[in-house]
Amino acid sequence: MSNDKKQTPANNNQALFTKDNYMWMLIGIAIMAIGFFLMAGGKSTDPKVFNDNEVYSTRRITIAPIFIIGGLLIEIYAIMKKSKTNE
């Protein structure tokens, strides 16, 4: 005589992310947007002229990728961050 009732996990109406997680996600997106903005540009007025000082500037090959990677790390932190209230 076995019990045929199906056991279901407790219905937890708790949101996956909290307001704090979303705040960190927005900060990460903003930092990545700044990085992409810093990487943009470098268009020459004459298409036959290549100005390597504009294309290979420190801002584009060093600072902008640091901002983008920093934004991605903040996004990872925002997703992995646990809420303070664990029931």
Tens digits of residue pLDDT in 24-66: 999 999 999 999 999 987 777 787 888 787 778 889 999 999 9
Residue 25: what pLDDT? 95
Residue 10: what pLDDT? 58
Over 70: is that where the pLDDT of 73 sits?
A: yes
- Rounded to 10°, the helix 19-39/64-80 angle is 170
**Contacts with 68 (C-beta within 8 Å, 6 or more apart), sequence order:** 31, 32, 35, 36, 39
Residue 34: what pLDDT? 96
Q: Which residue has the higher pLDDT, 86 or 52?
A: 52
**Contacts with 62 (C-beta within 8 Å, 6 or more apart), sequence order:** none
Q: 6 — alpha (psi -120 to 50), left (phi > 0) or beta?
A: beta
Helices and strands (DSSP H and E) totals, the chain: 4, 0
Rounded to two decimals, what is the model's pTM? Answer: 0.73
